[in-house]
Chains A and B, each alone.
Chain A
Amino acid sequence: MTSQTSAGYEKYYVPEKSRLAACATIGLILSIFGAANIMNDMTFGDPGQETSSWTIFTLGILFFLATLFSWFRVTIKENIAGMNSAQLKKSYVLGMFWFIFSEVMFFFTFFGALFFVRNLVGPWLAGEGEGGRMNGLLWEGFTFSWPMMQTPQEAVGGAGAQLMANNGSFTSAHTSMSFRDAHSWWAWLPLWNTIILLSSSFTCHIAHMGILSGNRKKFNLWLAITVLLGLAFVYLQAVEYHEAYVEFGLTLNAGIYGSTFFMLTGFHGFHVMMGATMLLIQLLRSVLGGQFTADDHFGFEASSWYWHFVDVVWVFLFLFVYIL
């Protein structure tokens, strides 16, 4: 159905008008409006008051997901109908590549915050630079170590005793997630998570080799294993969070160590869930719909790039959050 011009040039398919963008906008705006209201209820609202924030948020996110579903469905149908020229496919490749680049920059921000805190903020609070004035005047007795097991606030004797404006009380964990605090290497979950996630990158690659050689059975099998490994990772991460909160006292309130720990691992975990969902959808497309061929499987390819990206982020996390 691709139209050819007299010059033999394959036309670039420009879709007709579409409701997708308008629907996605409605879903997105309802979601953020609801989410903002939920958080404001929580922090600033009356505890007993009934609000419709959750309803708005739920409706918004469902509408948004439904729109995304039909958006991808339309795109897949167009591809199956042969409307996508090689040039259009390259646009999708570029789109996915630069999207992943933007995700890299997002994680870069939190890693940057971690390095800044560990190398500059902590030592300064503990008296390095400016002749130690910051430590002597404001946070006397604070010494810096990482993982930070005593916040500057605790060092001066609690929120009531600090000279700086009080913006919350921060209670450190008594045990960190670092390797040095682990009972034994085999009971240390991050190691198992690393093994799981790294092997999932390999299984994902084997699945890719499967579809490239036209072996659908191999593709389905190894893709399913990849998704399961992803889910296992998320499960262990949940166990780890439970351990952190219940046994280690490591919470979001535990000062900057807890803040950076949960921000980095939390967003990574969220991305693992997104990546696993993407791969699961590709698996369903193959198993239920018989889609993908040896030379046309971009939906899978894009998801696999995303998966490898999430994996690489984990390697850095393992190194800088758990080991060093």
Chain B
Amino acid sequence: MGDHHHGPAKGLSRWLFTTNHKDIGTMYLWFSFSMFMLGGTFAMIIRAELFQPGLQLVEPAFFNQMTTLHGLIMVFGAIMPSFVGLANWLIPMMIGAPDMALPRMNNWSFWILPPTFLLLASTLFMEGGAPAAGWTFYAPLSTTYAAPSVTFFIFSVHVLGLSSIMGSINIIATVMNMRAPGMTYMKMPLFVWTWLITAFLLVAVMPVLAGAVTMMLMDVHFGTSFFSAAGGGDPVLFQHVFWFFGHPEVYIIILPAFGVVSQIIPAFSRKPLFGYDSMVYATASIAFLSFIVWAHHMYTVGMPVAGELFFMYATMLIAVPTGVKVFNWVTTMWRGSLSFETPMLFCIGFLVLFTIGGFTGLMLAIAPSDFQYHDTYFVVAHFHYVMVAGAVFSMSAAIYFWLPKWCGRMYNETMGKTHFWISFIGFNLAFFPQHFVGLAGMPRRIPDYALQFTDFNMMSSIGAFIYGLSQVLFLYNVIATIVAGKPVSDPKVWDGAEGLEWTIPTPAPYHTFETPPKIDPAHAHS
């Protein structure tokens, strides 16, 4: 219990037993990238099958398992843990804390994930196959008609929820309790703000998901009738409970991405973020609204008109705070001294493509139109514009932006820019045509399609392969940087970057801010 400074331990035990937020952040990031690759492989199988109409490569039942696992792994295994990894690395450094508030629990939150996803992926080899009811696992597909592997899926969701709740409690405790003196709430970097609000959302809705899967478990094994009309229950009850979790969940994914973009755009515009206060209020408004819009995912389920109208207007309301954000980012760049390094390119890509995804979201919000769009490829296009071009692009930006700080080495800029452009082209080639086939009526989650959709689907598949390959380039660039990148030692790796994490040495030492730093009162949020 001494004062002497510890470096990292050697070997495997460093990672298994660590309580260090940087180690844990690193593990989260590598784990989420490996899940990104696994979920991506499933996507490649889906796109290969859809390259041509008819059934070529896989059985329809297996196709369903692929769409299901692709969604589950990307949402719960890739995107969410990647932002938790970022939170672990950055929040203590940004608020001047020695570590996360509850370091041992922090380690537990991470170590629950790998064996759980191993269990989930292993359902592919079980009798009856992996869960195949889609990532939204609607009853009765996921109850009455489910393979036995659904039980493993249910328990996996329980413990993933446990991990998320503990991780979020840790983040809330860290932000509320560990800020350096003088770091008031309205001086916190926006990334910290977005994560604080995200953590509230997680603590509020992960238990609801646990409740949903618990009711499934009871229906499957113990004879209850929550989701069965014959016993007085209702399959629609499942959808309500699921989306009460599921809608906040999409903001759980995108809010930290907003935070990342709000850090990076000012750095490469060499201007403070425009409208900091309004950004905070907009984030909080989005979080609040996320609780009262869930049924816009189920317009076609047979709700009363009053319900459709309420959820329609509430959903459209979200465009207001989101618009505030987009305008603030654009205004931050306005008359800035712009430069276009890789993180900035990904942020601008985010800005353009996320806005497109936002607009298609508005189209989907309109209840009468949604009767046409519902469960078509238009929806698939919409949420990939916000999930991939939103969350994943901002994640790529974050890695390029902070990697030099973390490892003291600079990535290869040419390779980074190449990664961006190939991603950008591949992504749009993959998902833009899906708007058209969707509007023309191509249903999602079906391994076959009508002949007139062939050209657009071929483009889509080629685009998906290009996007997938570009991630291999990304992986190579990151490894090459860590192993042999050009050393950097300036604390401020980027001349326009502001914030506490840029005041500590580069590479960031194993322990930072063991005593809190002095916060310059003139220095507001970065």
Task: Tell me whether B515 and A253 are in contact (CB under 8 A).
Answer: no
B208 cross-chain contacts in A, Cβ below 8 A: 105-106, 108-109
Task: Tell me whether A33 and B515 are in contact (CB under 8 A).
Answer: no
Bound together, the chains give a CA A91 to CA B3 distance in angstroms of: 21
B204 cross-chain contacts in A, Cβ below 8 A: 101-102, 105
Q: Which residue of A lies closest to B113 (CB)?
A: A25
What interface size band does chain A fall in?
35 or more
Task: Tell me whether B234 and A40 are in contact (CB under 8 A).
Answer: no
Near B by CB (< 8 A), chain A positions 92-141 give: 92, 94-95, 98-99, 101-103, 105-106, 108-110, 112-113, 116-117, 120-122, 124-125, 129-130, 138-139
Bound together, the chains give a CA A253 to CA B296 distance in angstroms of: 32
Task: Tell me whether A170 and B159 are in contact (CB under 8 A).
Answer: no
B102 at the interface (CB under 8 A from A): yes
In the complex, per-residue mask of B503-526: 1 if CB is within 8 Å of any chain A CB, else 0 = 000000001001110000000000
In the complex, per-residue mask of A205-217: 1 if CB is within 8 Å of any chain B CB, else 0 = 0000000000000
By DSSP majority rule, is chain A's interface helix, strand, loop, or mixed? helix
Task: Tell me whether A94 and B173 are in contact (CB under 8 A).
Answer: yes
Shortest Cβ distance from residue A172 to the other chain B in the assembled complex, whole angstroms? 9
Shortest Cβ distance from residue A95 to the other chain B in the assembled complex, whole angstroms? 5
Q: Which residue of A lies closest to B211 (CB)?
A: A109
B119 at the interface (CB under 8 A from A): yes
Bound together, the chains give a CA A106 to CA B18 distance in angstroms of: 31
Q: From the candidates A22, A42, A129, name the one contacting B16 in the complex (CB within 8 A).
A: A22
A112 cross-chain contacts in B, Cβ below 8 A: 240-241, 244
In the complex, per-residue mask of B115-140: 1 if CB is within 8 Å of any chain A CB, else 0 = 11001000000000000000000001
Interface size on B, residues (CB 8 A): 86
Task: Tell me whether B155 and A35 are in contact (CB under 8 A).
Answer: yes
B103 cross-chain contacts in A, Cβ below 8 A: 14-15
Bound together, the chains give a CA A260 to CA B214 distance in angstroms of: 12
In the complex, per-residue mask of B147-191: 1 if CB is within 8 Å of any chain A CB, else 0 = 010011011101100100100111011101110000000000000
Residues of B participating in the A interface, judged by any CB pair closer than 8 Å: 1, 3, 6, 9, 13-14, 16-19, 97-99, 101-105, 107-108, 110-112, 115-116, 119, 140, 143-144, 148, 151-152, 154-156, 158-159, 162, 165, 168-170, 172-174, 176-178, 203-208, 210-212, 214-215, 217-218, 220-226, 228-234, 236-237, 240-241, 244, 302, 304, 511, 514-516
Residues of A participating in the B interface, judged by any CB pair closer than 8 Å: 1, 3, 5, 7, 9, 11-22, 24-25, 28-29, 32-33, 35-36, 39-40, 42-44, 71, 81, 83, 87-88, 90-92, 94-95, 98-99, 101-103, 105-106, 108-110, 112-113, 116-117, 120-122, 124-125, 129-130, 138-139, 148, 151-153, 159, 162, 164-168, 170, 251-253, 255-260, 262-263
28 contacts between A and B (CB under 8 A): A12-B97, A15-B104, A25-B111, A32-B155, A33-B152, A36-B152, A43-B220, A91-B177, A94-B176, A95-B169, A102-B207, A105-B207, A106-B207, A109-B212, A109-B241, A113-B241, A121-B233, A125-B229, A125-B234, A129-B304, A151-B230, A153-B230, A159-B230, A164-B229, A165-B140, A167-B144, A167-B228, A252-B223
